[in-house]
A and B are shown apart, each in its own frame.
Chain A
Amino acid sequence: MKLKAFAISALAVSVLFAARPVKLLNVSYDPTRELYQEINIAFAKQWKVKTGVDVQISQSHGGSGKQARSVIDGLQADVVTLALAYDIDVLSEKANLVPKNWQSRLPDNSTPYTSTIVFLVRKGNPKHIKDWEDLIQPGTSVITPNPKTSGGARWSYLAAWGYALKKNHGDEKQAQEFVRRLYKNVPVLDSGARGSTTTFVQRGIGDVLLSWENEAYLALNQLGKDKFEIVTPSISILAEPPVSIVDKVTAKHGTTEVAKAYLQFLYSEEGQEIGAKNYYRPHSPQALAKYASQFPKVTLFTIDEVFGGWQKTQKKYFDDGGVFDKIYTPGI
């Protein structure tokens, strides 16, 4: 009898909660605010039509490494859309929040869109910056975030290193010296890409901002083409920001199904087009063709080709005591 009463109460509670809108938290890196605002609206509409259930998606943004640490520390992310695979790997390694094979669960290594690193310079390009070589010249002030906390900054760091390696026929010492000189020209290290954009654009500091391509175009469109220009270097890195559901959290919240659908939506034609519109390079040939004019042709190398993957790269360059710690001294 008591058991029956308990079962009825439990059922009543379930019904009570079932009627509520589903809530998702997307923990992302710094420059994706605008992209996911648009994605969230489109997905919520599609999900409502498909299932009749309202879905409310909250966003959290910050430096990618910092965001990963927050999720490990308990931030209840249903999905993570971070700047690089290593930051999702640590969710698996340090907190067992996602399975080890997380990257094989979605197409293209769970990377629904790609990007690269470009230069944002002031109108007229007063320092005549055309390629990576120009960033190490004395008197050139470079703005980029801290690669230990920002995913975008790690991509920038590796893009510069890859360029120097190529230029110096694979000489590691020369590459390290090149990157050391570049960071000597960095006067301020923000923790994330959005902070660096603020430093360069709003505070008027520096001659060049190393930026995600989409972030550079956003700055250009929002703040005026009369103030800034984009310089695409001769060579850059193929930045692959991946996505994953956080299995342990979605299991606890009962949001696994909707979280998976949310990430799959990024691969849909609608999702790809929204990505392209926001200056993320899409995989979809149709979306790419439609927005081809906004993606200049540039030679791109991958992290696997030059550095042997994220695990190795992180340990060598960005872990405490790694190469970055050794070469960085605040400039100016």
Chain B
Amino acid sequence: MLVRLFVTLFTGFATAQGQSPDDKIQQLEQKIGDLDQRLKIAERRQEIKAEEEAGRAKSAASVTANGGPFTIRSGDGDFVLRIGADFQIDNRTFPGLSLLPLTDQSLVRRARPTISGTVYKYVDFYVRPDFGQGQVVLYESYAQLNYFSRFNLRAGKFKPPVGLERLQSDDDTSFVERGLPTLLVPSRDIGYQLSGDIVKKRVSYAVGVFNGVPDNSLSDASVSDHRDYAARMFLTPFRPAAKNPLSGLGVGIAATSGNVDGLTLPAYKTFGQNTFFTFAPGVTSTGHRTRLAPQAYYYVGPFGLLTEYTLSEEGFQKGTVRRDIALRSWQVQASYLLTGEKKVFDTLIPKKAFNPHHHGWGAFEIAVRAGDFSVEPGMFNYGFASATTSPWRAREWVGGVNWYLNRMLRISADYANTNFAGGATVANGGNRPTERVFINRFQVNF
């Protein structure tokens, strides 16, 4: 068509120039052919450039900053570096008069930068120090081999697989401080752990061997040749069935066993982080310690329920007297998301992040908790603790409100009431005074 048009237009002109129409047609066809080639070449060059850029983008490292940790990832995803942090600023107020000198205060509860990632696709690493409360403590430092999804091997300093709420991230608990059963389980310990998810991820298991640390403590050194063995199995039998109302049900049990010779004795603290139970002078940990920790949670829609019980039977000695004494604790906590988000064990993501300009108000949660901690009478009968300074029972109830402004920012306000049986002289009423504390927290984590 195009050629004919050119021919029609130029035939007269060509004749006038002394060229035959056929020559002219041939010339024009040649020119059009050349132009067509040039156009195709330009297009192909663009195409190749785009392919090369796409190839480079595919293999190029990427940097992301979108609400989680800042992440650098290699093109193939085999190498990942994440930089995160966890800051918690608390304000504690102890209302009313009390016989105990409880000090209102503001403090940096946690200041934990986190460096984690993956090398060579299958090897994860995690390092997390804490600069909170004026101290520098290495909380976690471990490497984990993930070559087989059902058998992950972890080595280093981390949370042993025992307490349910202890295993929940500091940023994800419904209250600013964990419940009383956490007092009886290890915080972090150094050792090795084999873990994995099996049976279509309905069964999660972990077994490990650790140095052994006092209750709710962490340590960088072992005090004896003995080891602490820990195992946990947690079942989520209805997990894959999203529409099943029981899909959020999880039930498990954990246990530890080990020798405690030479371990430092712990001190147990209230919700307000005041020590309420100490051992008598001259008492040592001696012999065996066994812990048993049944645990469960249930999440359905915005509602969450978490409960656990911990029994710890441990050998104590004072002079020539040595006895095994049981310490027990339980808690039940429930929470409800008023803004309709789905409550989960892990990080909660608000439906709408806080942004008043776009009618986003974040997520609001209310939560209540009841808990109990008790020791056997033998603790006092054999002189391992003084009944006038350490109570044999502590009971707490806690109410709280959480405002999740977005995935990274949360403001919490909790009120806790802890009453005691024992722990004071008869002249002072026989019972340690009830602790009432109001704690609010400003938390940033990513």
Contact = CB atoms under 8 A, between A and B. Distances in A.
Interface of A: 13, 74, 141, 187-191, 195, 199, 203-206, 332
Nearest to B47: A203
A13 B151 CA distance: 10
Contact of B37 (A13, A191, A195, A205): A205
A205 B52 CA distance: 19
8 contacts: A74-B78, A141-B37, A187-B37, A190-B48, A191-B48, A195-B51, A203-B47, A206-B37
A141 to B, nearest CB: 7
A4 to B, nearest CB: 15
B41 A332 contact: yes
Contacts of B43: 203
A89 B78 CA distance: 26
A188 B48 contact: yes
Given A13-B151, A74-B78, A188 B45 contact: yes
Interface residues of B, number: 15
A332 B42 CA distance: 10
Interface string B24-51: 0000000000000110110111011001
A99 B116 CA distance: 36
A252 to B, nearest CB: 11
A199 B76 contact: no
Given A74-B78, A205-B37, A332-B38, A13 B148 contact: yes
Contacts of B48: 188-191, 195
Interface of A is mostly: loop
B148 A199 contact: no
B346 to A, nearest CB: 29
Nearest to A9: B151
Contact of A187 (B41, B51, B78): B41
A141 B38 CA distance: 11
A206 B40 CA distance: 10
Contacts of A206: 37
Contacts of B37: 141, 187, 205-206, 332
B78 A199 contact: no
Given A13-B151, A74-B76, A74-B78, A191 B41 contact: no
B41 A188 contact: yes
Contacts of B38: 332
Nearest to B151: A13
A203 B44 contact: yes
B151 A188 contact: no
Contacts of B47: 203
Nearest to B148: A13
A13, A189, A199, A205 pick with most chain B CB within 10 angstroms: A205
A195 B44 CA distance: 10
Interface string B150-166: 01000000000000000
Given A188-B45, A195-B48, A203 B40 contact: yes
Contacts of A190: 48
Nearest to B209: A2
A116 B441 CA distance: 75
Interface in B125-170: 148, 151
Contacts of B52: 191
B44 A199 contact: yes
Nearest to B78: A74
A141 B40 CA distance: 12
B148 A204 contact: no
A187 B48 CA distance: 12
Contacts of B45: 188
A57 to B, nearest CB: 21
Given A141-B37, A203-B40, 20 more contacts: A74-B76, A74-B78, A187-B37, A187-B41, A188-B41, A188-B45, A188-B48, A189-B48, A190-B48, A191-B48, A191-B51, A195-B48, A203-B43, A203-B44, A203-B47, A204-B40, A205-B37, A205-B40, A332-B37, A332-B38
A188 B44 contact: yes
A199 B47 CA distance: 10
Pairs of residues from A and B, 8 with the lowest C-beta to C-beta distance, nearest first: A187-B41, A205-B40, A188-B44, A203-B44, A199-B44, A203-B40, A205-B41, A205-B44
Contacts of B41: 187-188, 205, 332
Nearest to A66: B55
Nearest to A190: B48
Contacts of B148: 13
B280 to A, nearest CB: 37
A53 to B, nearest CB: 21
Contacts of B51: 191, 195
Contacts of A205: 37, 40-41, 44
B357 to A, nearest CB: 46
A187 B46 CA distance: 12
A13 B47 CA distance: 48
Contacts of B40: 203-205
B42 to A, nearest CB: 9
B307 to A, nearest CB: 32
B439 to A, nearest CB: 44
A288 B101 CA distance: 100
Nearest to A70: B59
A233 B78 CA distance: 47
Contacts of B44: 188, 199, 203, 205
A250 B354 CA distance: 53
Contacts of A195: 48, 51
Contacts of A204: 40
Interface in B269-289: none
Nearest to B52: A191
Nearest to B41: A187
A189 B44 CA distance: 10
Interface in B55-91: 76, 78
A74 B41 CA distance: 35
B146 to A, nearest CB: 14
A146 to B, nearest CB: 10
Contacts of A188: 41, 44-45, 48
B27 to A, nearest CB: 14
A70 B40 CA distance: 31
B38, B44, B52, B148 pick with most chain A CB within 10 angstroms: B44
Interface in B191-226: none
